[in-house]
Amino acid sequence: MIDNFSRLIVSVDYAIWVRDRVEVDEELKGFSANDITCQGVQGITLTERLLLEIPNFRKTGGHLDLKNTTLCTSSRDPDGYVPRVDWLDDKLHVYWSLPVFRRGTVRARAVVS
């Protein structure tokens, strides 16, 4: 099972496992951040998503989320908005959405810590 995951080590004391894929988790398609939280799924944080870009680029020479958007369900601003990250026109974009926002191309990345 671990073979299907990539490891991201943020520091010596902190690591997460995410699925080893460019596009965000198909299994979490169509769920809002609130839905993901209610299901007990631990999603990636904004910091983790941004740092995940580095080993992916080193490995593949390409970026994550070229067709879809990662919903960073474990990060929220003081008003409860949730960040989402993607690549568009060769630029990394971070947007903020209501926690009830859902769209088929916006999905969480599940993590195992």
**Strand-strand pairing, 106-108 and 69-71:** parallel
pLDDT value, residue 92: 94
- Write the Ramachandran bin of 84: left for phi over 0, alpha for psi from -120 to 50, otherwise beta: beta
pLDDT value, residue 12: 62
pLDDT value, residue 76: 96
Residue numbers of the chain with a pLDDT score lower than 70: 1-12, 113
Q: Where exactly are the structural domains of the chain?
A: 2-112
**Strand-strand pairing, 91-97 and 69-71:** unpaired
pLDDT value, residue 64: 93
pLDDT value, residue 1: 41
